[in-house]
Amino acid sequence: MDDFISGIHNYCDRWCERCVYTDRCRVFATDREDRQVAKSDPKWETSLEPITKTLQEAIKLLNKMAREKGIDLTKTDAGFEKERAEQKTAVEKHPLTKKSLAYLDLSRQWLEQGQVKSCMDMIFKEVELGKRTMQEGERDILRVRESLEVIRWYQHFIVAKSHRALMGKEGDYDKQLPEKERGYNGTAKITRIAIERSLQAWATLLGFFEEEESALFRVMAALQQVQEQLAQTFPNMDLFVRPGFDE
């Protein structure tokens, strides 16, 4: 009998380096096994074996889910294909998708402008000139780096998870379950957490980039719009208890 928490990896932020549940997560254990094999066999990463293994596991999982939902995967169902295509179109047009993509664009543009490097250079310069102590300089550099790491980690995550939550909401499966057990609410909940952490990180950056205040406010406003739209679309997301994290 293992000690894994069932489904924990479905509602986490995939930031395994910072996760306190690595020893209770099956996905992490599988990845670690792969990494260990890769270390001992240099050809492993370029061979097809890891892909085949992952694919086999995915097929096993898919078959299990299909059995649970009474779906026969051997049949192609034209009605199902059509329904799926309609769901995809509805999700693409949804304001949450548009707003999360707008945030991604705006945040990416700002990060690519090179302001971060000038800010870091300025901090180093001030340490050299004695305007800041070495400890203050190190502390500030760490705060900027940490904020950037958080922002970058969640930039695409917010778009991908919003999309996944909307697809779940458009589908029929979750509708049979009570609100607190609907998977899309769990996905929306981790999206909300990612947004909150990102907003906090942007707010920290504001303290270091005074001349960029209006640009940063624009990025934060775009993210707040995603936050509002998410809350409007998934009003019951907080009813969902994420395995491990919320128990």
**Residue 14 binds ligand SF4, judged by CB under 6 A:** yes
Asked if 245 and 8 count as a contact pair (C-beta separation under 8 A), the reply is yes
Smallest separation, CB 189 to ligand SF4 (Å): 14
Environment class of 221 (CB within 10 Å of its CB; exposed 0-12, middle 13-18, buried 19+): exposed
- DSSP letter (8 states) at residue 208: T
CA distance 219 to 60: 42
Among all chains, which residue has been given the structure tokens 């960029």? 212
8 binds ligand SF4 (CB under 6 A): yes
Q: Does 87 bind ligand SF4 (CB under 6 A)?
A: no
**What is the C-alpha to C-alpha distance for residues 85 and 93, in angstroms, rounded to an integer?**
13
Q: How far apart are CA 200 and CA 220, in angstroms?
A: 10
Examine residue 12 and tell whether it contacts ligand SF4 (CB under 6 A): yes
Question: Taking CB under 6 A as the rule, does residue 190 contact ligand SF4?
Answer: no
Asked if residue 195 binds ligand SF4 (CB under 6 A), the reply is: no
197 part of the interface to ligand SF4, by CB under 6 A: no
Q: Is 176 exposed, middle or buried (0-12, 13-18, 19+ CB in 10 A)?
A: exposed
Cβ at position 12, least distance to ligand SF4 in Å: 3
Under the binding rule (CB under 6 A), the answer on residue 25 touching ligand SF4 is yes
CA distance 175 to 182: 7
Binding segment for ligand SF4 (CB under 6 A), chosen from 20-28, 116-124, 127-135, 154-162, is 20-28
Residue 28 makes contact with ligand SF4 by CB under 6 A: yes
Q: How many residues bind ligand SF4 (CB under 6 A)?
A: 12
| Cβ proximity of 23 and 16 under 8 Å | no
Under 8 Å between Cβ of 155 and 107: yes
What is the nearest approach in angstroms of ligand SF4 to the Cβ of residue 156? Answer: 16
16 binds ligand SF4 (CB under 6 A): yes
242 binds ligand SF4 (CB under 6 A): no
Among 2, 3, 7, 19, binds ligand SF4 (CB under 6 A): 19
Positions that interact with ligand SF4 (CB under 6 A): 8-9, 12, 14-16, 19, 21-22, 25, 27-28
